[in-house]
Structure 1
Amino acid sequence: MDFEYTAEQQLLRDTVTEFLAARYDLEKSRAAARIGIGWQPEIWHAFATEVGILGAALPEQVGGFDGGPIETLIIAEAFGGALVVEPYVDTVVVGAGLLRRAGGARAEELLRGIVSGEVITALAALEADSGYNLAKVSTTARRDGDDWVLDGAKTVVTSAPLATHLLVTARTPDADGVSLFLVEAGTAGLTLHSYRTIDERRAADITLDGVRIPADALLGSEGAADDSLATAADEAIAAISAEAIGAMRRVLADTVDYAKQRRQFGVPIASFQVLQHRMVDMYFELEQAVAATYLVTLKLGAPKQERARAAAAAKATIGRAARFLGQSAVQLHGAMGMTEELAIGHFFKRLTAIQFEWGTTDQHIARYAALTRP
Structure 2
Amino acid sequence: MDFDFSDDQQQLRDAVRRWVDKGYTFERRRAIVAAGGFERAAYGELAELGLTALTVPEAHGGLGQGAIDAMVVMEELGRGIVLEPLAQAFVTAGVLAQYAPQELQAAWLPRIASGEVLVVLAQQERKARYRLDVCEAKAVVAANGYALTAIKNIVSAGDQADAFIVPAQLDGQIALFLVERAAADVSTRGYGTQDGSRAADLQLASTPATLITTDGLAALELAVDTAIAAACAYAVGVMDQTCAVTFDYLNQRRQFGVAIASFQALRHRAADMKMQLELARSMSYYASLKLGAPAEERRRALSRAKVQLGQSMRFVSQQAVQLSGGIGVTDEYIVSHYFKTLTQLEMSWGDTLHHLGEVSARMQDQAGVFA
Asked whether the two chains share a fold, i.e. TM above 0.5, the reply is: yes
Distance (whole Å) between structure 1 residues aligned to residue 250 and residue 309 of structure 2: 24
Match of 1:73 in 2: 71
Query: Which of residues 207, 210, 231 is equivalent to 1:211?
Result: 207
Distance (whole Å) between structure 1 residues aligned to residue 169 and residue 177 of structure 2: 10
Match of 2:160 in 1: 162
Distance (whole Å) between structure 2 residues aligned to residue 357 and residue 31 of structure 1: 24
Match of 1:190 in 2: 186
* Cα pair distance change 1:8/1:42, threshold 3 Å: same
The C-alpha deviation readout for 1:140-176, integer Å capped at 9, x for no partner, is 1111222322112111112212211011111113xx4
Distance (whole Å) between structure 2 residues aligned to residue 279 and residue 321 of structure 1: 13
Match of 1:17 in 2: 17
Query: Which of residues 152, 172, 175 is equivalent to 2:170?
Result: 172
Query: Which of residues 324, 334, 352 is equivalent to 1:361?
Result: 352
**Which residues in structure 2 correspond to 1:140-289 (within 5 Å)?**
140-173=138-171, 176-213=172-209, 217-220=210-213, 223-289=214-280
Distance (whole Å) between structure 1 residues aligned to residue 67 and residue 208 of structure 2: 35
Distance (whole Å) between structure 1 residues aligned to residue 97 and residue 334 of structure 2: 36
Asked if 2 retains the 8 angstrom alpha-carbon contact of 1:157 and 1:203, the reply is yes
Match of 1:59 in 2: 57
Match of 2:320 in 1: 329
Match of 2:364 in 1: 373
**Which residues in structure 2 correspond to 1:332-347 (within 5 Å)?**
332-347=323-338
Partner amino acid for 1:198?
Answer: Q
Match of 2:35 in 1: 36
Tell me the CA shift for residue 367 of structure 1: 0.7
Asked if 1 retains the 8 angstrom alpha-carbon contact of 2:57 and 2:97, the reply is no
User: TM-score scaled by structure 1?
Assistant: 0.94
For structure 1, list consecutive stretches of 5 or more residues without a partner in the other structure.
none
Tell me the CA shift for residue 249 of structure 1: 0.3
Distance (whole Å) between structure 2 residues aligned to residue 182 and residue 58 of structure 1: 17
Q: Give the SS at the match of 1:65.
A: coil
Distance (whole Å) between structure 2 residues aligned to residue 86 and residue 42 of structure 1: 10
Q: Give the SS at the match of 1:105.
A: helix
Distance (whole Å) between structure 1 residues aligned to residue 150 and residue 294 of structure 2: 33
Query: Which of residues 93, 98, 106 is equivalent to 1:101?
Result: 98
Asked if 2 retains the 8 angstrom alpha-carbon contact of 1:160 and 1:204, the reply is yes
For structure 2, list consecutive stretches of 5 or more residues without a partner in the other structure.
366-371
Asked if 2 retains the 8 angstrom alpha-carbon contact of 1:95 and 1:167, the reply is yes
Match of 2:369 in 1: none
Tell me the CA shift for residue 190 of structure 1: 1.7
Partner amino acid for 1:297?
Answer: S
Partner amino acid for 1:218?
Answer: L
- 4+ residue runs over 3 A deviation: none
Confirm or deny that 1:131 pairs with 2:129: yes
Distance (whole Å) between structure 1 residues aligned to residue 316 and residue 36 of structure 2: 30
- RMSD of aligned C-alpha atoms? 1.3
Partner amino acid for 1:93?
Answer: F
Question: Percent identity over the alignment?
Answer: 37
Count how many residue pairs are aligned between Structure 1 and Structure 2.
364
User: TM-score scaled by structure 2?
Assistant: 0.95
Asked if 2 retains the 8 angstrom alpha-carbon contact of 1:323 and 1:351, the reply is yes
Tell me the CA shift for residue 38 of structure 1: 2.3
Tell me the CA shift for residue 303 of structure 1: 1.5
Tell me the CA shift for residue 250 of structure 1: 0.2
Partner amino acid for 2:41?
Answer: E
Distance (whole Å) between structure 2 residues aligned to residue 194 and residue 22 of structure 1: 29
The C-alpha deviation readout for 1:246-268, integer Å capped at 9, x for no partner, is 00000000000000001112211
